[in-house]
Structure 1
Amino acid sequence: MAVDVGDSFFLLFIFLFSTLIFFIFHLSKKKPARSPPSPLALPILGHFHLLSSALPKSLEALARRYGPLMQISIGSSRFLVASDADTAQQILRAQDVEFASKFVFAPSHHNIFKEAEFVNAPYGTYWKFMKRLCMTKLFAGPQLDRFYHIREDETMKVLRSLWKCHQLGEPCDLSTKLTALTNNMLCRMAMSKRCSKSDDQAHEIREMVRDTMMCGARLSFAEVHGPLKHVDLFGNGKRLRTALRRFDGLIEQIIKEYEDDCGEASEEKDVMDILLETYRDPNAEIRLTRDQIKHFFLDLLIAGVDTTSASMQWAIIELLKHPHKLKKLREEIDTAVGSTRLVNESDVANLPYLQAVVKETLRLHTPGPLLRRKCNSDCEINGYDIKAGTNILINAYAIMHDPGTWKDPDEFIPERFMAGVGDDHHMELKGQDFHFLPFGSGRRACIGVAHAAIVMHTAIGGLIQCFDLKGAEKVDIKLVTGYSGAIANPLVCYPIGRLNPTVLHVK
């Protein structure tokens, strides 16, 4: 049968025209993607011109104008910033799985431990395995209880050193002593077979971690997020890699010493013992690598030392700035504990004002003012479309200084956390109330919150019980730049003895 060419072209035209109409109709029904509001950005720089060295405060100021969810560009990097409790709750609870990964707000391309991170690991098999290991073996209640004597011993060392300064009439750098306290506790908990023999090993580890953090801090925002981020213009990346290699060599040496001693009986297992058992176990769900073990200790020390130390320093500063609140806390300790023994961990439950002081310090000077998340799949927040791979910053600083939630949010008022006095007494440290997020919330909340809380309560309680700290109220308070809440200047004071810790009963 002959084919009419004209009919064929007509049918083809009808098909193409119908297809075009279908797609136009389909696209017209599809809602356009809605993006969160954003300030006017500059080419290349993005919103650098709107940000100060105190990043959380800068973002808080922008949020007042652009809303609780906004888009910010820092160089070549883009972020969504959540600045209120309702938006934080959607991200950290309602859609926690979609936001269970973290992005790296740091120079990751200089990290020699490639893909060995735990704290910043993507949400997946390795992270879930390590989180379970932490919660069931490394930082579970029974394991923390076993380390009681380490915390007690290190706290007594600090109090004795302050008493010696009192006797000699010498000033004391409280910043250094509290940093050494938290560092030595973690090192002994993690590697007690090595770090319990002398303070030298713990000090060496601390110095290497400090060098690593200082090298990382020298890298500017432009070097981390700018268009030339892979070009080491000033050699800071090289110095960071050198510091990491030194840390790698020391921890490798310690691992080998543990392996050589593996046949020796041990009364209690420290963190290194537990990790090496998993490393050697052929039936383990995840076969840990040596780099993963090394980076775990680096994460542990970076996350747990300076943040806890800075929080204790802020508590002392605020109490000295508010003598009537210091007097109230001291009277509570003297009444509940007395003058014949030192305040200890079991006393904390009977010291509600001490608990309130710690909570208010963490609210006012949060150790983690910006919480980092990464969107794992397309979703919707506040009516805006969020694409997979989007980086999220949750401004915990703005949330915990929100005048809509907190009366006089910039004032130090521990009473707000007292039952029968303040409206916020029910808020706890674990992030169940999204107006109070000192340690984050959800799957990626801080795993060391229980340890940090124990250390803060007992150390602050012991210092206030045993000493008047003169001169610290005159310290020039200055924050380090960036998104940390740490103090830049040392907290130097003259300790004046009230009770001699060397003769007090410990229990």
Structure 2
Amino acid sequence: MFSARRLDGGAGVRREKVGRLVDYLRECSARGRAVDLGQAAFVTSFNLLSATFFSVDLIEFESDATQQLKETIEGVTKILGTPNVADFFPILKRLDPQRIKKRSEFYFGRLLGVLGGIIDGRMESRSMETKNDLLAALLHLMDGSEYDLTYKDIQHLFLDLFVGGSDSTQCIVEWAMTELLANPEKMSNAKNELRSVIGEKNQVEESDISRLPYLQALIKETLRLHIPGPFLVPRRAVREVEIGGYVIPQHSQIFVNAWAIGRDSSIWPNPTSFEPKRFLNNNIGFKGQDFELIPFGSGRRMCPGLPLADRMLSLMLGSMLHNFEWVMEGGVRPDTTEEFGMALHKAVPLKAIPLYCF
């Protein structure tokens, strides 16, 4: 699904979803309305995934269903990132003192119900329609005898993909726009690059990405300063190992504090400052080879959706910057308070007014 050939074949779908985002922002601009940028990015990334997986858009901009689904996925990530005292004192598991089990059953149940309804509908209509998407391929494998793939396997696979794909993309776009609104000169640098490379009236295309080094640098800087998964995905030690004089017992659960690595003053000068130019004169990337910047992890267990996220982030941010000027409602400075969990959300959602340029 994330191979270069498949991603190249899906360029038209990504162009369509980003085009719908631009149309929505243009409509808000005409009305002088502030946009919840996190929700707009969420709808765009979620519909990209649903179109790829199910050949259909599942949500719309500014609908109650969209808000409920967004809150459900954010609820899942918050629960996954909450330390559970019952993990340290098993005698408390039945009591569930923090209500983590109860809340997780609610949020996971709601999301699995949505996905189950889509899968059930496709299974009922398979004889009437043929679609070339991921769900069709998985149902075909489930029918065969070569793979031991169950209905529940498919349901939970999609849950992982939607939670990991839509929430993290939303976080990165929202944080990038927050930092750019807080640093107008950085936004001006990005807009000037887009104007000089693409031209005033042309749209940002995937073929343009490699010619936009400052846009790539500001995405890297956002990933360094506001990594979407502060502790990455938990690992487990398959054997006892000694690292730096510390013995890690076999089967230990391991968290990598990538948030702290991104703010380590021994690696990054002025680590709390948003400085995209720090990535202009070096080859540091976020694809797992440079351990000072590992927002998607590294090695065999790194995020498989990295190639898709790389393209979508550049397209979404490039289009939002190239087509619009942005101002904060009331002229206030954007809040940069972080809310920790499995994903690093903003404590206060970013709302800004787009001013259409062309």
TM-score (normalizing by structure 1): 0.64
> What CA distance in whole angstroms lies between the structure 2 residues aligned with 1:216 and 1:280?
32
Pairwise mapping of residues 263-282 of structure 1 onto structure 2 (< 5 A)? 263=127, 266=130, 269-282=132-145
In structure 1, the partner of 2:183 is: 322
Tell me: CA distance 1:497–1:140, structure 2 relative to 1, closer, same or farther (3 Å).
Answer: same
Aligned amino acid, residue 349 of structure 2: P
> What CA distance in whole angstroms lies between the structure 1 residues aligned with 2:231 and 2:98?
27
- For the pair 1:491 / 2:354, whether they are aligned, the reply is no
Measure how far apart 1:210 and its partner are: 3.3
> What CA distance in whole angstroms lies between the structure 1 residues aligned with 2:87 and 2:344?
21
In structure 1, the partner of 2:38 is: 175
Contact 1:209 1:302 in 2 (8 A): no
Which of the numbers 283, 289, 293 marks the counterpart of 1:432? 289
Tell me: CA distance 1:484–1:337, structure 2 relative to 1, closer, same or farther (3 Å).
Answer: same
- For the pair 1:258 / 2:122, whether they are aligned, the reply is yes
- For the pair 1:160 / 2:19, whether they are aligned, the reply is no
Contact 1:205 1:247 in 2 (8 A): no
In structure 2, the partner of 1:296 is: 157
Contact 2:59 2:65 in 1 (8 A): no
> What CA distance in whole angstroms lies between the structure 2 residues aligned with 1:270 and 1:209?
24
- For the pair 1:463 / 2:326, whether they are aligned, the reply is no
Contact 1:166 1:496 in 2 (8 A): yes
Q: Could you report, residue by residue, the CA deviation over 1:416-450 in whole angstroms, capped at 9, with x for unpaired residues?
A: 111xxx3xx21122110111111110111011111
Measure how far apart 1:253 and its partner are: 2.7
> Any stretches of 5+ residues in structure 2 without a counterpart?
none
Which of the numbers 417, 420, 429 marks the counterpart of 2:279? 417
- For the pair 1:481 / 2:340, whether they are aligned, the reply is yes
> What CA distance in whole angstroms lies between the structure 2 residues aligned with 1:232 and 1:357?
42
Measure how far apart 1:348 and its partner are: 0.3
Measure how far apart 1:257 and its partner are: 2.4
> What CA distance in whole angstroms lies between the structure 1 residues aligned with 2:277 and 2:261?
19
> What CA distance in whole angstroms lies between the structure 2 residues aligned with 1:448 and 1:485?
18
SS in 1 for 2:181: helix
Aligned amino acid, residue 196 of structure 2: T
Contact 2:42 2:70 in 1 (8 A): no
Aligned amino acid, residue 22 of structure 2: L
> What CA distance in whole angstroms lies between the structure 2 residues aligned with 1:234 and 1:369?
22
Q: Could you report, residue by residue, the CA deviation over 1:79-112 in whole angstroms, capped at 9, with x for unpaired residues?
A: xxxxxxxxxxxxxxxxxxxxxxxxxxxxxxxxxx
> What CA distance in whole angstroms lies between the structure 1 residues aligned with 2:99 and 2:335?
31
Aligned amino acid, residue 247 of structure 1: L
Q: Could you report, residue by residue, the CA deviation over 1:290-343 in whole angstroms, capped at 9, with x for unpaired residues?
A: 111111111111111111111111111111222222111111111111122111
Contact 2:38 2:170 in 1 (8 A): yes
In structure 2, the partner of 1:78 is: none
Which of the numbers 329, 332, 336 marks the counterpart of 2:197? 336
Which of the numbers 257, 262, 267 marks the counterpart of 1:405? 267
Contact 1:479 1:485 in 2 (8 A): yes
- For the pair 1:308 / 2:169, whether they are aligned, the reply is yes
> What CA distance in whole angstroms lies between the structure 2 residues aligned with 1:205 and 1:282?
38
- For the pair 1:241 / 2:100, whether they are aligned, the reply is no
Tell me: CA distance 1:469–1:412, structure 2 relative to 1, closer, same or farther (3 Å).
Answer: same
Tell me: CA distance 1:295–1:224, structure 2 relative to 1, closer, same or farther (3 Å).
Answer: farther
Tell me: CA distance 1:208–1:175, structure 2 relative to 1, closer, same or farther (3 Å).
Answer: closer
> What CA distance in whole angstroms lies between the structure 2 residues aligned with 1:173 and 1:213?
15
> What CA distance in whole angstroms lies between the structure 2 residues aligned with 1:234 and 1:361?
32
In structure 2, the partner of 1:232 is: 96
SS in 2 for 1:275: helix
Higher Rg? 1
> What CA distance in whole angstroms lies between the structure 1 residues aligned with 2:311 and 2:10?
11
Measure how far apart 1:375 and its partner are: 0.4
> What CA distance in whole angstroms lies between the structure 1 residues aligned with 2:76 and 2:20?
30
Tell me: CA distance 1:247–1:361, structure 2 relative to 1, closer, same or farther (3 Å).
Answer: closer
Measure how far apart 1:451 and its partner are: 0.8
Measure how far apart 1:265 and its partner are: 6.0
- CA RMSD for the aligned pairs? 2.5
Pairwise mapping of residues 6-25 of structure 1 onto structure 2 (< 5 A)? none
Tell me: CA distance 1:239–1:314, structure 2 relative to 1, closer, same or farther (3 Å).
Answer: closer
Q: Could you report, residue by residue, the CA deviation over 1:357-407 in whole angstroms, capped at 9, with x for unpaired residues?
A: 111111111112213211011222223332211121211112222222212
Contact 2:43 2:59 in 1 (8 A): no
Aligned amino acid, residue 188 of structure 1: A
Tell me: CA distance 1:203–1:292, structure 2 relative to 1, closer, same or farther (3 Å).
Answer: farther
Contact 2:112 2:159 in 1 (8 A): no
> What CA distance in whole angstroms lies between the structure 1 residues aligned with 2:70 and 2:177?
25
Contact 1:209 1:247 in 2 (8 A): no
> What CA distance in whole angstroms lies between the structure 1 residues aligned with 2:287 and 2:27?
37
> What CA distance in whole angstroms lies between the structure 1 residues aligned with 2:139 and 2:67?
22
Contact 2:7 2:308 in 1 (8 A): yes
> What CA distance in whole angstroms lies between the structure 2 residues aligned with 1:436 and 1:392?
18
